[in-house]
Structure 1
Amino acid sequence: MDFSISEEQKALRDRIIKFAQQELNEDVVTRDREQIFSRELWQKCAEFGIQGLPADKTYGGSGVDALTCAMGLEAFGYGCRDGGLVFSICAHILACIAPISKHGTEEQKQRYLPGLCDGRLIGMHAITEPGAGSDPFSMQTRAERDGNGWRINGTKAFVSNGPIGDLAIVFAMTDLQKGFHGGATAFIIEKGTPGFSHGKRFEKLGLHTAQVSELVLDNVYVPKNAVLGTVGGSTSIFATAMDWERIVLVASHVGTMERLLETSVAYARKRSQFGQAIGKFQAISHKIADMKVQLEAARLLAYCAAWRLDHARTAALDAAITKLFVSESLVGSALDTVQIHGGYGFMAEYEVERALRDAVGSTIYSGTSEMQRNIIARWLGLG
């Protein structure tokens, strides 16, 4: 087993960290408090090449493999303290660019990928509904044939980038008798299409700079070339998005975990109580030691799973294991960081309370921890 990292991967990591630390962290406390999404920072990231990491160079991307993309987003999560911006960009890359890159027609790739890579377009992924979250079989959005196209009606919930997005991959039932597997289809729908709008904007516990809303489809007509993949073939589209999110999105969490570890070590060294640095107390040093163990295990899981995205027939089990472990480790590391900082950790100025608020959602989005355990159990023949 070769665990070495190439010079190109090291250089990419270093460049992204330097860029993020220099360009993306100013006024992050204010942006979080006022729940501001910065299109200017989004554009800076695109110009640097973040959004285009996995897309083919033909369409304006960098064309890196999944492992290198994971390493790049790990560096992004480490260097950028704006968790909402990191989340928004990851959702855009992994749930929109990745499926279009893998399943889109040549016309769709040429039409959408350049804008998604260079910052002109913001992507969305819409499958969750008010009554259908972990259970896609309960999906109520319907698409019916209308002449040479489709007529779509329904409401999607918790859509990342919903209020600011320019195009969405929308899932709708096209054959009720077949159900979700074989009876659901993915469509690419552009902002400005009559009847297509964002609805209620959601207030969240964390990730305040990431915009999330409903998407409303009121008698929306799309031509047949709006179908992504094949009619009834949404399962593979959804699987691509989820595998990439559950592996490569959580790689950004690994970067956040490393930053939290360094923050905790630095504070434990300088903060004194009872005549000595608090890091000399086992109650503190053992927390930090456990954080280091969790970080290294999380990184290995993420890297191994990312490699399998490009080299294995399926990475679904690896994705579930990685998502479960890394997300719960992130929450634990964030909580430990707050605890190590004591009363200061509870205060906004130290910025670690924000890391905890942002971390909580990681065990929910892209499939809850409970769903990941269900997936793992089924792979073990228990479901």
Structure 2
Amino acid sequence: MDFKTTNEQDLLANNIIKFARNELNEGIEQRDANSEFNRREWHKCAEIGICGLTFPEEYGGGNADLSTTVNCIRALSYGCQDTGLVLALITQICCGLQLHLFGKDNQKEKYLPPIISGEKIAAQAISESDAGSDVGSMRTTAIPHPNGYRLNGTKMYITNGPIADIVLVIAKTGQSQMAFRNLSCFIVTKETSGFSSETNLEKMGLRTMQNSGLIFENCDIPAEQIVGNEGQGMFIFNEMIEWERILMAACYLGVMQRIYETTVNYAKTRNQFGKPIGQFQAVSSKIADMRIKIELGKLIIDKAAWQKDQKIRSTVESSIAKVFLSESLKKICADALQIHGAYGYMKEAGIERDVRNSFAATISSGASEIQRNIIAKLSNL
């Protein structure tokens, strides 16, 4: 395994960093305060190819492998201070990947181009109020009906929910003793009768990312809108969650790198007791720990992405990446605020926003406790 990036990958990443710094950061404080999603910035990201990185050129994609995509997401989150926007884009990519990997040809032809171009916003509807980590306990059902299925249920905390044009919904289609056979995946568009979105949820952090409940009341879904085959929903979920965790970990790594560099610069220029505070071991040790987490995090993300590119399952590695990077992000944000002192506690510094955002990292896409359960289960205990 050679994780050295190519000159082309480095050039692409550097261009994304410049783009993000120049185009995506203006007004972030106000958008965060107002829980505002900025469609103009969304479309700017789509125009430079972020939404289509991993997809074939025939659909308008960039034909990049996951390793390249990870490098790009890391660069985007490093340059862009709007982490909510980056995570919304990751959801868009994952929805497109789900259709690319499991969809029928006509579904790809219809839905991939507008997802890749950013014209249509996509969401994944899996979580429910009583079914988060325990996906199998969901109550949303899709009952066979003339010409298709009748979908009923409510999803909760759905990223891109209030603004989604296309929703990939996981619902129960069976009552088998083998739980993994009971779920199926469906494409639902916002025009579907009986489908509605609740208002955007007010959150502690990631306030520019839009989350809401989604309601399905007697939604008649044509049979041709099922993704894959009936009963394949859990298989699709287990595959896609690996991609999602790797991409989210890449986002966390970019944020960590940005905060680390900001903190190093502050520690070199902030003087107390006649010298820069970075020369005090209490401060330098915290910064050293940041560097350790960044370097180790990069290695596990690169390995997990390489595995997916080689068509190797990455269940353990993607879980390790998710738990390590999410917990490292929270620690780095907290230490950065501590090193910046009173200034770091002020909104002006921007660090408090990263601290608030970081708390979602250990919860979304499988809480840290669930990641440890997965790792333990696959460690032959």
TM, length-normalised to structure 1 = 0.98
In structure 1, stretches of 5+ residues that fail to align are none
Is the CA contact 2:115–2:121 (under 8 Å) kept in the aligned structure 1? Answer: yes
Distance 1:12 1:125 in 2: 28
197-206 or 222-231: which moved more? 197-206
Q: Which runs of 5+ in 2 are unaligned?
A: none
Asked if the contact 1:173–1:180 (Cα under 8 Å) also holds between the matched residues in 2, the reply is no
Match of 2:143 in 1: 144
Q: Within the alignment, does 1:113 sit opposite 2:112 as a pair? A: yes
Alignment of 1:217-228 (within 5 A): 217-228=216-227
Deviation at 1:317, TM superposition (A): 0.9
**Aligned twin of 1:183:** 182
CA contact (8 A) 2:197 2:213 kept: yes
C-alpha distance in structure 2 between counterparts of 1:121 and 1:129, whole Å:
24
| Aligned counterpart, 2:34 | 34
Match of 1:45 in 2: 45
Tell me, yes or no, if the aligned pair for 1:149 and 1:223 is still in contact at 8 Å. yes
Q: Which amino acid aligns with 1:321?
A: I
Q: How does 1:220-299 map to 2 (within 5 A)?
A: 220-299=219-298
Q: Is contact 2:65-2:309 (8 Å) kept?
A: yes
C-alpha distance in 2, partners of 1:326/1:216? 33
Distance apart, 1:240 and its partner CA? 2.5
Once the two structures are superposed, the pairs formed by residues 161-200 of structure 1 within 5 Å of their partners are 161-178=160-177, 180-200=179-199
> Does the CA-based 8 Å contact 1:247-1:319 persist in structure 2?
yes
How big is each residue's C-alpha offset from its partner over 1:172-216, in whole Å with a ceiling of 9 and x where there is no partner?
A: 100023454011100011011000111253211100000000000
Residue correspondences, number: 381
- The Cα offsets for residues 59-99 of structure 1, whole Å up to 9 and x where unpaired, read as 111010011110010001101001111111112112x0111
- Deviation at residue 116 of structure 1 after TM alignment: 0.5
Maintained 8 Å contact 1:302/1:322: yes
Q: Is the 8 A contact 1:98 1:240 kept in 2?
A: no
Deviations 1:212-233 (A, max 9, x none): 0000000000101110011000
Aligned amino acid, residue 285 of structure 1? S
The answer on 1:11 being equivalent to 2:11 is yes
Distance 1:178 1:169 in 2: 25
Aligned to 1:103: 102
SS in 1 for 2:149: strand
Contact 2:154 2:215 in 1 (8 A): yes
Q: Distance in 1 between matches of 2:177 and 2:161?
A: 29
Deviations 1:2-47 (A, max 9, x none): 2321111111101111110110000111111111100110000000
Contact 2:35 2:202 in 1 (8 A): no
Percent identity between the aligned chains? 43
Structure 1 residue aligned with 2:207: 208
Partner residue in 1 for 2:343 = 344
**Per the alignment, in what secondary structure is the counterpart of residue 217 of structure 1?**
strand
Whole-Å separation in 1 of the counterparts to 2:297 and 2:198: 36
CA distance in 2, matches of 1:199, 1:180: 29
Q: Does 1:328 align with 2:327?
A: yes
Deviation string 1:226-248 (CA, Å, 9 cap, x unpaired) is 10011000122112321011112
3-state SS, counterpart of residue 207 of structure 2: coil
**Superposition pairs for residues 113-132 of structure 1, below 5 Å?**
113-132=112-131
Match of 2:70 in 1: 70
Seen in structure 2, the aligned counterparts of structure 1 residues 178 and 121 have a Cα distance that, compared at 3 Å, is: farther
TM-score by length of 2: 0.98
| Distance in 2, Cα, partners of 1:248 & 1:83 | 13
For residues 14 and 2 of structure 1, what CA distance do their matches in structure 2 show?
21
Alignment of 1:83-98 (within 5 A): 83-94=83-94, 96-98=95-97
Which deviations, in whole Å up to 9, do the C-alpha atoms of 1:305-357 show, x marking residues without a partner? 01111214311111111101011011111111111101111111100110111
Look up the SS of the partner of 1:334 in the other structure. Answer: helix
Give CA deviations for 1:95-143 in whole Å, capped at 9, x if unaligned.
Answer: x011111111111111011100111111100110011111112110011
Q: Please report how far the alpha carbon of residue 149 of structure 1 lies from its aligned counterpart in structure 2 after TM superposition.
A: 0.7
**Conservation of the 8 A alpha-carbon contact between 1:136 and 1:180:** no
Provide the residue aligned with 1:310 in structure 2: 309
CA contact (8 A) 2:3 2:302 kept: no
Instruction: Give distance in 2, aligned partners of 1:24 and 1:201.
Output: 22
Cα drift, residue 291 of structure 1: 0.2
